[in-house]
Amino acid sequence: MAQANQGDLEIVPSQFLGFLKDLHSKYKSVQEGAVANYIPELAKVNPDLFSICVVTVDGQLYEVGDYEQLFTIQSMSKVFAYGLALEDHGRDYILTRVGVEPTGDAFNAIILDEQSKRPYNPMVNAGAIATTSLIKGSGATERLNRMLDMFRRYIGHDVFVDISVFTSERSTGHRNRAMAHLMFNFGMIDQNIEEALDLYFQQCAVMVNCRDLAVMAATLANRGTNPITGEQAVDSHYIKDILSVMYTCGMYNFAGEWAYKVGIPAKSGICGGIFAVVPHQMGIAVFSPLLDARGNSVRGVKVCEELSQHLALHLFECSANNSCFSNIQRSSK
């Protein structure tokens, strides 16, 4: 890569790539955590897989490790389904069905707000099921096709659903099914329950790699425009809604500590992926299947914490007039 500019600062790509390689080498030996096993197909993944990717808003790509390894997107899909639902209905209507409050409960807790009967936010399973049920379409096939086309805009190429993972989730997803019936009882879901659940299980089983996740994160950082293809993936009007909920709720019951230590919007998934957004600058993605007790990638959290610390990525530390890349040279030495 040639040298490029972010703001008034010169970036040396070789130095930044070297920094990412150092991070990868530092954390590759970490063996803490375990792969997700409550969905049988996910238990088969190689726990040693590990990759880090960064894509800037001007389309520069930095990647290290197993960045082409495909995996199912799982809960990270909730971010993008939420954006599609916002485009379909607008924020005022979505707020009548799904709240935006963080919760200290686990991501799969069967709990609704006692007063409103809404799920607390679209990043926990109950809220995501309600959000997905709002995706417009004349039937199950049209809704799925709209969902897949939405992912295509974010990533820049067609995607597909892993049928084995989908059927595995569908056959074991009794807890999610209980949530859906509870929400149907309170009028938060008003279409066929099984159809809504199928679409939710399908969106979670979409196949991506670490590079794809970084492009998706960079698209959100770039006001909804894919920095590689130039295609608008989501209406820029809803970027603040998406990033706000990611910041407060995206890391489940680790969200507060994440906001304190890392300080950028992010979303994790039980596949072992984490993607994070540095608005107007870059998207970050890490993939490592070993999870902590909260369902977040152990290596992923460590990498993001160090990136934030050394590059001053925290939203309350990085000045709008000074690119976070200003610290790359110092961190590379």
List the binding residues for substrate: 75, 125, 169, 176, 200, 252
Strand partners, 51: 65, 287
| Phi, psi angle pair for 78, to nearest 5° | -60, -35
Measured over the CA atoms of residue 213, residue 84, residue 224 and residue 298, the dihedral's sign is negative
**Token pair of 153 as six digits:** 């805009």
**By the 8 A CB rule, do 284 and 278 touch?**
yes
Show the tokens assigned to 65: 């490790």
Q: What is the CA radius of gyration of the chain?
A: 19
Query: CA nearest 203: which of 254, 255, 131?
Result: 131
Identity (one letter) of the amino acid at 101?
Answer: E
Residues 6 or more apart in contact with residue 263 via CB below 8 angstroms: 308, 313, 314, 315, 316, 317
**Can you say which residues are annotated as belonging to the binding site?**
75, 125, 169, 176, 200, 252
